[in-house]
Amino acid sequence: YAPDNSWFIRTMNGVFELGGELVRPDVAHNLMRLIAEGSGEDDEADMALRRFAAATYYSMLDRPILPDILVCVICWVLGEYGYLIGGGVAREPET
């Protein structure tokens, strides 16, 4: 039983970090589906969950080592919802 979806995301991140390559790919797929679909009952809550997930995964990027399965989740979430944490404005790379 998960008290809420953000708790589930935090818990699964811990599982991915500790279990690494022992975690089946369908577990990551289910987490990504939860983030994509949300609860389906409240659009605002679903967007808040996506924003939380994107911010959480963005903050994990500076870690020196991450399991491959977690990197896949991070890449997908930031690819789909990264704009939610940046104010929706794409920034040009600095030269």
Number of H helices, E strands in the chain: 4, 0
> Which residue, 16, 17, 37, is CA-closest to 25?
16
Place of tokens 């969950």: 49
**pLDDT tens digits, 21-64:** 899 999 999 999 999 998 878 899 999 999 999 999 999 999 99
| pLDDT computed for residue 86 by the predictor | 77
Residue 82 has pLDDT above 70, yes or no: yes
Tens-place pLDDT, residues 14-25: 999 999 889 999
What are the domain boundaries of the chain?
5-85
3-state secondary structure 20-59: HHHCCHHHHHHHHHHHHHCCCCCHHHHHHHHHHHHHHHHH
The pLDDT, as a whole number, for residue 90 is: 47
Predicted structure pTM score: 0.84
